Structure 1
Amino acid sequence: MARVDAAAARRMTESLFIERSLRSPSSTRFWALLALASVIAAAGVIGDSTATVIGAMIVAPLMTPILGSALALVLADRDHVVRSVLLVLLGASAVVLIGMLLGWIVSPPDAFASNSQVSSRISPRLIDLLAALATGTVGAFALVRTDISDTLPGVAIAISLVPPLAVTGLLITVGRYHDAGQSALLFATNVAAIVATGTIVFLLYGVRDAAAEAGLTVGRFSGRTLGVILGVVLLVAVPLTAGTVTVARDRSLAADARPVAEAWAATGQWQIASVEARNGIIVIGVLGLPPQPAPAALRTALDRHGMRDADLELHLVGGRTHWCPADTDTCTVKESARS
């Protein structure tokens, strides 16, 4: 395996370590691009536009301080570790706040229940961790190998950093706190994977020796550091394992509920817009003109088909939401969805 030289080590630190001064070129570039990427991501999620969200992924600069954290850990440079970690935390908080701001301005009546950009980011699974590990490896590999640096835009698209944070902010504004936590978990999964794979790649390519030759700050690196990083990855894997099981259960529940919902809607010539399950709750979106079919009749039909233990959340056109708890035959009306 080819090892990096002193010039490459210097180039890597210049690329990944953002200067302390807020007026410095690297700092102003980071915050300006992050703010713009946040607005683009939130707008893309609100508009349910995949192309717009991909644009935000390309613009977003959060990968820089995350890989910078990995490089600082390898060099055992405490100052840059603290600075990079703070940039990640502050940057993530800024994206969430921008998402909340846009969520307050534009809050759909169904609380994003039928939004595909939201639903794809609130159920992180082990496969997401595997993808993040592979993507983080490619990102670090492209950084140490200038001959494959053209792959970095693809890495930016493959790894989801700003979009799940924007989703977190948007979901907080509509009271979906559990789902907001799940999208934040997806972000944390990607960060942990990037730091872990970046650290390993930098060590394998001899970045420490190259940095010492370049006269850069290189402290004492211990195996304990690597153990802590891998421990964090394993810690993240625990809720992802639970998420994998939950997703499988929810998909089966949604598949069972759809034909029942379609038969119920046909009685009033309504149309089923969406059927999904979130953490054991059946969420159904319905479109049509008054009079509406009776929500309690759908609750009864679901019970009759073996779904008595699942709560029902029914979103009707115009923003009215019916909540039908499990083991009951009554439904309550809400003006907006909260889950």
Structure 2
Amino acid sequence: MVVRKLSTTRSILLFEGADKAAYWRRFAMLLTLSVVIATMGLLRNSGAVVIAAMLVAPLMTPILGVAAAMVMGWLKRAVTLALTVCLAAIVCVMMAWFLVYVADVPRGILIPDQVLARTDPGTEDLIVALAAGVAGAYVQINKSELSLLPGAAIGVSLVPPLSASGILLYFDEPAEAYEAGLLFATNLGAIILSACAVYLVYAARSVVFSKGKRKLNFTASVFVAIAFLVVVVLQLGKSTYNRYLETRTEAQLADAIRAWAYPVSVEIIRIDVNAQRKRAEVWLVVDLPAEAQFKVSSIAGLLPPKLRETPLVGVLEEELGPGYLAIIRYQPRIGAQIILGTENVQQAPDVTEITEDE
């Protein structure tokens, strides 16, 4: 493998060029535009608009500058750029909150899926960020591969999690906002470490492994970066375990509800379990007998006897345990099966049976 000249790494380190003020003005403008695009895209639940925000976001360059400064042993430069990135991240969160506040989005509406998608980071996000950091650093060194840069920008999510955090703070969801911020922190730490590895391989081994202050500065900065990433990984491990626990619990809960309702047809619209907050949400549609439409009675009186024998609350408590906040939404509907041209009216088959036949 060809070892690049140190000037390559220096050019990445001094990315602002001769006019630093002009660069940072452009940086502020692009960052503002990216936050506006990301926030509106998240509120509109539009993935395409969110991707556009990723392409506009200018955060990748100073983050790679942090890695280059670490490799060159320029500790002061690395700390300055790292603080700049952190300050920019805080400003992004505040801008997103302000945009939602100005738009006067009602707090009672359901939070869009694109926002919630940024609140469930896991170890797979760490792997994606590591790969994106390698790609971004590789493109910085190999200018002939600039066509790969948009892919690296899309692969790692920097501004959208910050916008999601601001939106969630507006919706009074601090725990979810923290998770979105954790996704940004994961991307930040992983990009810096993976970019350091690329710069070492391609450009600056002679500097890092030489004796003196630079080697000490590099060692200290990498130690801090690894410690930061370890803290993030511990949080991700907890989130990943909670997600696994929630997915397994949701599957078991769905099976228990079907067993509780059998032979009555019950369509499960949604089951959402949050193990950390000890909260479960269940949405069901219950098929009433065809003759229920001719009866005047309460909803409970129209239910099939099977569903009145054991309350659904008992099934939920058996699966989840005491202490959970359970939100149950169910809607009754008339279920009938008719042979057209005749008066043969029967109970509709179970929803799952129809799906399997199709």
Distance change (3 Å), C-alpha of 1:145 and 1:263: same
SS of 1:120's partner is: helix
Structure 1 counterpart of 2:316, one-letter code:
L
Give the aligned partner of residue 250 of structure 2: 254
Structure 1 counterpart of 2:280, one-letter code:
I
SS of 2:273's partner is: strand
> Quick one: distance in 1 between partners of 2:129 and 2:22?
29
Distance change (3 Å), C-alpha of 1:32 and 1:306: closer
Whether 1:164 aligns to 2:158 is no
Whether 1:68 aligns to 2:68 is no
Distance change (3 Å), C-alpha of 1:118 and 1:154: same
Give the aligned partner of residue 146 of structure 2: 149
Tell me if the contact between 2:13 and 2:66 (Cα under 8 Å) persists in the aligned partners: no
Moved more, 179-188 or 70-79: 70-79
Give the aligned partner of residue 3 of structure 1: 3
Give the aligned partner of residue 280 of structure 2: 282
Tell me if the contact between 2:133 and 2:194 (Cα under 8 Å) persists in the aligned partners: yes
What is the 5 A alignment of 1:40-189? 40-104=37-101, 105-112=104-111, 115-189=112-186
**Cα displacement string for residues 199-255 of structure 1 (whole angstroms, at most 9, x for unaligned residues):** 1211222237699xxxxxx96132333233223222211111111100011112333
Distance change (3 Å), C-alpha of 1:78 and 1:254: same
Tell me if the contact between 2:75 and 2:221 (Cα under 8 Å) persists in the aligned partners: no
Give the aligned partner of residue 227 of structure 2: 231
> Quick one: distance in 2 between partners of 1:59 and 1:264?
52
Which entry has the higher C-alpha Rg, 1 or 2? Answer: 2
Structure 2 counterpart of 1:282, one-letter code:
A
How high is the sequence identity, in percent, across the aligned residues?
Answer: 30
Distance change (3 Å), C-alpha of 1:260 and 1:85: same
Query: Residue 14 of structure 1: CA displacement?
Result: 4.1
Whether 1:26 aligns to 2:23 is yes
SS of 1:124's partner is: coil
TM-score (norm 1): 0.76
Give the aligned partner of residue 214 of structure 1: none
Distance change (3 Å), C-alpha of 1:63 and 1:315: farther
Distance change (3 Å), C-alpha of 1:101 and 1:283: farther
> Quick one: distance in 1 between partners of 2:246 and 2:17?
43
Distance change (3 Å), C-alpha of 1:102 and 1:83: same
Q: How many residues align?
A: 299
TM-score (norm 2): 0.72
Query: Residue 102 of structure 1: CA displacement?
Result: 2.6
> Quick one: distance in 2 between partners of 1:178 and 1:160?
19
Whether 1:221 aligns to 2:220 is no
SS of 2:157's partner is: coil
Give the aligned partner of residue 242 of structure 1: 238
Tell me if the contact between 2:14 and 2:65 (Cα under 8 Å) persists in the aligned partners: no
> Quick one: distance in 1 between partners of 2:191 and 2:323?
40
Distance change (3 Å), C-alpha of 1:177 and 1:315: farther
Over the residues paired in the alignment, what is the CA RMSD in angstroms? 3.5
Distance change (3 Å), C-alpha of 1:226 and 1:282: same
Distance change (3 Å), C-alpha of 1:210 and 1:100: same
Q: Which has the higher helix share?
A: 2
> Quick one: distance in 1 between partners of 2:28 and 2:260?
51
Distance change (3 Å), C-alpha of 1:72 and 1:135: same
Structure 2 counterpart of 1:109, one-letter code:
G
Distance change (3 Å), C-alpha of 1:92 and 1:7: same
SS of 1:221's partner is: helix
Query: Residue 91 of structure 1: CA displacement?
Result: 1.0
List runs of 5+ in structure 2 lacking aligned partners. Answer: 286-297, 301-310, 331-358
Tell me if the contact between 2:270 and 2:284 (Cα under 8 Å) persists in the aligned partners: yes
Distance change (3 Å), C-alpha of 1:5 and 1:131: same
